[in-house]
Structure 1
């Protein structure tokens, strides 16, 4: 009954059943607690999970049941307590491939991709053979880090061990290469997938659109339709984005209409964002305004941001002010909205508006997210901000940079005889 409640989405009721079970003198076994930990992970209820953890410790199950340990580890990771998950993982006397996968997936969910890759290395050193879930999870972490070298290494391992035939690995490779900037390698992986599913097609379509290859994204979308594939909402986000970047208004409107009439896909805010961006970029700002006005739900910041960008490009100051006022109330601490409106006022020579925007931004946006760049060296991604001195090799980096600047100046003066 505990299991049935959890698998049917009644996680809270599962604990009520467990309480009745305890009142009747039944302690529960490893399977019971594995299901309960899964319930806590789904609910994100860390406190209840820790209480159940204490009960399991008192029963002595953690030392003998690897399934219970792995379920507990997974629960901590899903609740965001990845440090607790790692402590448990390090204390496990016996680990199987599921345990390793749970730790890797946990780091990935908590945006700690470098740690996920380190766990894979430890896994290989521990003579535990990764499976397709291991590789697809690590590749997802590589994608988040934009770590091209690691993606290539995992790809090579997959080929050597015959795991590249799994569609989950193929799909992960496409996304990982695309996010690392290697769009051609991503397309090669797409071509190597023999039996493509919707995720395969959608991943490649969105990758082409993201990298600005609008024609290739649209061509791939049409190829999917000719092959009998039925696109979902995410596939339409990709193709609408491609139409927007290519300025194909009529084509984009046709896709938007077919999404509703032919495929009966429920429109979400991402679709409206793409449509508003499509119209705004092409100069149809008033049509974009009508779309926002007729939306069945209240427009979110992404929709209004796309509209504001269109107004900025085509100099529609009044409509831009309407969108900006709504954005200021939604995101009062977001500096990009104030900067966009300031630029619109400046292009219209409304200097009082520029001064007001700058004052308001200074008052509301105390914390600014700085721009950064990164470089991958020997398998590690190094991130740098402007005037950043936090890197352990900062002194050497700045000394070499000064030397290069001096050499460039000397070369400039030599060629211009100054």
Structure 2
């Protein structure tokens, strides 16, 4: 490939003089060899490679004249190092080829540099070829290959070489333990770490124990975590604050929040990662107050929260439906100047939508230079849940026009918007466009949304056909949607079929039993209702208690059905009594057919009056000025009677009342609901 005649070689020399007029490349062999080193030091990497290759051509020509020229080892070392640092695989291959053809005999150091260069460039095939060609290897050679395989997840190949190693050092063990941990094989990582501890000459370093701690956290295994913690102390590695952070994370993931906090308090120079991790641990353990308190400490410290911190705190506000706290966090973010394009903005949108403040969510999206997919999707879902499906679909069109590609979650929200509005044909159109227009595959969630849409519309024949043609097995959520539709339309036969499927999937879920009991009660099938309740008692399943809550002056008030514990209970009952009289005058008829017991109508009406959301609404009316909007949240789906009653209450009291149940937001105003009685 490089054969040239003598004249062409000399012409190459002339070209070099033109390219580098200020360099005397060809005075002596020593000066020629130094050029490459100087170019490498000056980061003129491409020129160095060119010089080396051209020197080879000159070397062939000069060799014909009886002169032999070979670059020194330092030249090769410099070039290989630059190739490795810049991940320049093709140039590295040129250097390797030059070594082969120049007659240079590399020592183990240069072999190892070649080996490392190929490994860092991701060419493990070339690295293995070099490894197999090496006339002699040291522990570094073995480590490079073991680590190279482990880094890309080929832990079986790495372990095979590891077991063949004539000797190992701490780097060898670290490479394997880390490789197993990254490959999501934490048990193997811990077994190997334990074996290492038993060997007399094997000493773990900071990187080894960090990987072992991460493995214990991912299982999670508190016993192994505590053993590793002991090793850290005994080995004198407990001054490393990175290890403290790893230990804190491990204890948190193992559910030992107090131990995690103890570690956190010992860290002298806490960085934002440590703060964020500890705050997140509190929230994941549902220790909300402590999480928010620690966030307040962070705000008052010298450490500035980052987007991960804000996202975690805002997600906690969304879970608690605590808009006031969310607004305070938003205000702080604005004061310190957060990036509106960060994913913390997406968490803001999600928080506002889950708290029922869709206008603020829209304002956040409008303030983003280029909203990301999560923000678009949250807003689309927010409008759907807040009873504005038309705006939901409008923002989906804007998403498409912006050039953002929707994903399967986006379509879940789009189909949900159609479901909440009863847009069956539109929903079918969007469902088919997922594959035909957008090139995505249908997921189980898409089928569940479509079946839910058809079930709510009473199109049972069509939905049974779709279920039979599904490429995957129907999930519990799909059958629950079928059951919900049957409850709305009184389809007892299909409800029984759906219930049987749900009993197979999750026999411990009380919702199935309660819904079937409701369906039997509504149909007047009291014997079947009694049998369902008996079956529920026999297997020890208990109904999740319904609860509702509202915030007044930043204080949360929680109510259970027939709750008498609230200090204002007597006033609440009196208020509901007066409201019920006025409601009946306006035409309200209690839905006594949904009460689960075969008792007198008067008793049924009394049972309906004390549902938790009615208690919360009455309390909010008593605790706020006339005309003030009310917001109530419920953990379960609202019943038909409460939905009907709150429509009348909104008209009588001239209040806007928003109720968020487990399904969606219901915005009641002047006797109407945003769901249009379709939910």
Same fold (TM over 0.5): yes
Contact map agreement 1:101 1:133 (CA 8 A) in 2: yes
Contact map agreement 2:536 2:542 (CA 8 A) in 1: no
Q: Which residue of 2 aligns with 1:247?
A: 422
SS in 1 for 2:420: helix
Contact map agreement 1:112 1:141 (CA 8 A) in 2: no
Q: Report the Cα distance in structure 2 between the residues aligned to 1:185 and 1:205, rounded to whole angstroms.
A: 14
Instruction: Please tell me whether residue 42 in structure 1 is matched to residue 218 in structure 2.
Output: yes
Structure holding more helix per residue: 1
Higher relative contact order by CA 8 Å / sep ≥ 6: 1 or 2? 1
Do the aligned partners of residues 166 and 70 (structure 1) sit closer, same or farther apart at CA in structure 2, a change above 3 Å counting?
farther
Q: Which residue of 2 aligns with 1:416?
A: none
Match of 2:243 among 68, 82, 87: 68
Write out per-residue CA displacement over residues 77-115 of structure 1, whole angstroms, 9 at most, x where no aligned residue. Answer: 223332321232233343222111110122223333332
Gap regions ≥5 residues in structure 1? 414-418
Write out per-residue CA displacement over residues 395-414 of structure 1, whole angstroms, 9 at most, x where no aligned residue. Answer: xx42x44256568879999x
Do the aligned partners of residues 377 and 231 (structure 1) sit closer, same or farther apart at CA in structure 2, a change above 3 Å counting?
same
Write out per-residue CA displacement over residues 155-185 of structure 1, whole angstroms, 9 at most, x where no aligned residue. Answer: 0100000015352221111111112221211
Q: Which residue of 2 aligns with 1:256?
A: 431
Q: Note the 1:6-405 alignment, pairs <5 A.
A: 6-15=181-190, 18=193, 23=199, 25-62=201-238, 64-364=239-539, 366-376=541-551, 379=554, 381-386=556-561, 397-398=566-567, 400-403=568-571
Q: Report the Cα distance in structure 1 between the residues aligned to 2:409 and 2:465, rounded to whole angstroms.
A: 24
Calculate the aligned-residue CA RMSD, in Å: 2.8
Instruction: Choose 291-300 or 313-322, whichever is displaced more.
Output: 291-300
Do the aligned partners of residues 365 and 275 (structure 1) sit closer, same or farther apart at CA in structure 2, a change above 3 Å counting?
farther
SS in 2 for 1:383: strand
Q: Report the Cα distance in structure 1 between the residues aligned to 2:201 and 2:304, rounded to whole angstroms.
A: 41
SS in 1 for 2:558: strand
Write out per-residue CA displacement over residues 213-259 of structure 1, whole angstroms, 9 at most, x where no aligned residue. Answer: 21111111121112221111111111111111111112211222222
Contact map agreement 1:147 1:381 (CA 8 A) in 2: no
Contact map agreement 2:341 2:371 (CA 8 A) in 1: no
Do the aligned partners of residues 388 and 92 (structure 1) sit closer, same or farther apart at CA in structure 2, a change above 3 Å counting?
farther
Length-normalised TM-score, structure 2: 0.55
Write out per-residue CA displacement over residues 243-279 of structure 1, whole angstroms, 9 at most, x where no aligned residue. Answer: 1111111221122222233434343332221111011
Gap regions ≥5 residues in structure 2? 1-174, 582-679
Contact map agreement 2:314 2:348 (CA 8 A) in 1: yes
Write out per-residue CA displacement over residues 8-64 of structure 1, whole angstroms, 9 at most, x where no aligned residue. Answer: 4444444455457554734233233223322332332333222212211222323x2
Length-normalised TM-score, structure 1: 0.87
Q: Report the Cα distance in structure 2 between the residues aligned to 1:381 and 1:349, rounded to whole angstroms.
A: 39
SS in 2 for 1:240: helix
Do the aligned partners of residues 77 and 200 (structure 1) sit closer, same or farther apart at CA in structure 2, a change above 3 Å counting?
same
Cα drift, residue 379 of structure 1: 4.6
Q: Report the Cα distance in structure 1 between the residues aligned to 2:230 and 2:552, rounded to whole angstroms.
A: 43
Q: Report the Cα distance in structure 2 between the residues aligned to 1:378 and 1:74, rounded to whole angstroms.
A: 36
Q: Report the Cα distance in structure 1 between the residues aligned to 2:200 and 2:446, rounded to whole angstroms.
A: 53
Q: Which residue of 1 aligns with 2:35?
A: none
Q: Report the Cα distance in structure 2 between the residues aligned to 1:150 and 1:238, rounded to whole angstroms.
A: 26
Cα drift, residue 328 of structure 1: 2.7
Q: Report the Cα distance in structure 1 between the residues aligned to 2:183 and 2:580, rounded to whole angstroms.
A: 71
Instruction: Choose 99-108 or 307-316, whichever is displaced more.
Output: 307-316
Instruction: Choose 73-82 or 356-365, whichever is displaced more.
Output: 356-365
Q: Report the Cα distance in structure 2 between the residues aligned to 1:178 and 1:411, rounded to whole angstroms.
A: 30
Q: Report the Cα distance in structure 1 between the residues aligned to 2:236 and 2:556, rounded to whole angstroms.
A: 42
Cα drift, residue 334 of structure 1: 3.0
Instruction: Choose 264-273 or 192-201, whichever is displaced more.
Output: 264-273
| Structure having the higher Rg | 2
Contact map agreement 1:202 1:235 (CA 8 A) in 2: yes
